[in-house]
Amino acid sequence: MKGRVLIIAGSDSGGGAGIQADIKTVTSLGGFAMTAITALTAQNTEGVHGIYDVPPNFIKEQISVVLDDIGADVVKIGMLHNTDVIATVSSTLSDIAQEVPVVLDPVMVAKGGELLLEDTALHALKTLLIPRATLLTPNVVEAEALTGRRIICTNDLILAGEDLIEMGSETVLMKGGHIDGSTVIDILISTSSREVFKNIRINTRHTHGTGCTLASACATGIAQGLSMSDAVKRGNDYVQEAIRTAPGFGRGHGPLNHGYATGG
């Protein structure tokens, strides 16, 4: 087992996204997953039915005790929900994990459309965490909220990604799944390069947790010493196969097959 990944994110009681998807992904790819849970959700494939916040001081304690004892090769950040939590995570990492790479998945909206980030927290996310990100992984909806740009084509993805680089993220993986077309195009952008990843779109409703899964897969690759490009490529391939072999559970947006790589 190689690659220690500390996941700071919310819990999904349905098991398809959030901490549950993160742990499954990291484990399936041979890493070691640790967690600091930021919120509990009552959630299934049909939507988020309730959110219960974890107090910021307890989030800090989870992060601190794990890093003090076990350490981490990468921190993966998902759902943070409000300004106090964002500020707590930012300050804690600055104090005790300044040199640890961060993969930031700016979770804002659930697959069913429910808001997972309070409106007042957007500024905190942009100013406190995006400048700390080694890799930022927004989808189209998230990138539009962060940049104020309308994104309807691949060129818009690039422009928005460049905006996010200017905000301070080292690299940005712009995910194009919300753009219509038979091919899904993701673009990895840094100050000096662009790399395009293309996948045939799989027509299915079983895509719950794809964003969490991809970010955690990339984080695992980085923790294991892969280059950014190779970490994203492996992560992308992992998500595609997890979608293709999804078990078909639930009446709504069903989960992926996170365990396919280990024979699940």
Neighbours of 155 (CB within 10 A): 9
pLDDT at 81: 85
CA angle 191, 197, 200 (to 5 degrees): 155
What's the domain range around 133? 4-262
Residues taking part in catalysis: 175, 207, 209-212
Using DSSP's 3-state secondary structure scheme, residue 89 falls into: helix
Tally of domains within the chain? 1
Measured CA to CA, the distance from residue 213 to residue 22 in angstroms comes to 6
3 burial (CB, 10 Å; 0-12 / 13-18 / 19+) is buried
Q: What is the mean pLDDT of each run of 10 residues along the chain (264 residues)?
A: 94 96 97 97 93 96 98 97 94 97 88 66 92 97 93 94 97 93 94 94 94 97 98 97 95 94 66
CATH code for the domain of 218: 3.40.1190.20
